[in-house]
Amino acid sequence: MSHPDPIDLTNLAQEKLGRKKTQRVLDHCRECPRCADQLLEAAREQPLTTERPVLGMWNWISIGLLVVSVLAVVAILWWVARSASRPPSPGIEQSQVGASRLPSPLDDRQRT
């Protein structure tokens, strides 16, 4: 029985092996405890920061960016809707409008 290359076991542990080769090595490991042990060891030796967590990290970053961009769009839409219905800087302009209206309250009554 020919044992698979230890490099293949390592690659399989890193999930870098092709599907066919992976299947072959796994089939072999099912009947060869020694290689199964090697494979397990190779998998254990893989620092978990090589493949999956990096992908996971990028996934999280892309999800975060997506959420941030959605929030930004919502905030912009909300701001646009708000500034469209009201003067852009309510603090100053409303007080000015209020001040100009205050001396003539009758105008409002006449208008309505």
Which positions lie near Zn ion, rule CB under 5 A? 3, 32, 35
CB of 7 to Zn ion, least distance (A): 14
| Residue with smaller CB distance to Zn ion, 3 or 51 | 3
Q: Least distance to Zn ion from the beta carbon of 74, Å?
A: 57
Least spacing, CB of residue 12 vs Zn ion, in Å: 13
- Three-state secondary structure call for residue 88: coil
Query: Can you read off the two tokens belonging to residue 56?
Result: 């996971």
When the beta carbons of 26 and 32 are compared against Zn ion, the nearer one is 32
- The two three-digit tokens of residue 40, written as one number: 């397990």
Tell me if 63 sits within 8 A of 34, measured CB to CB: no
Q: Which helix (H) or strand (E) holds 4?
A: none
Decide whether 3 or 24 has the Cβ nearer to Zn ion: 3
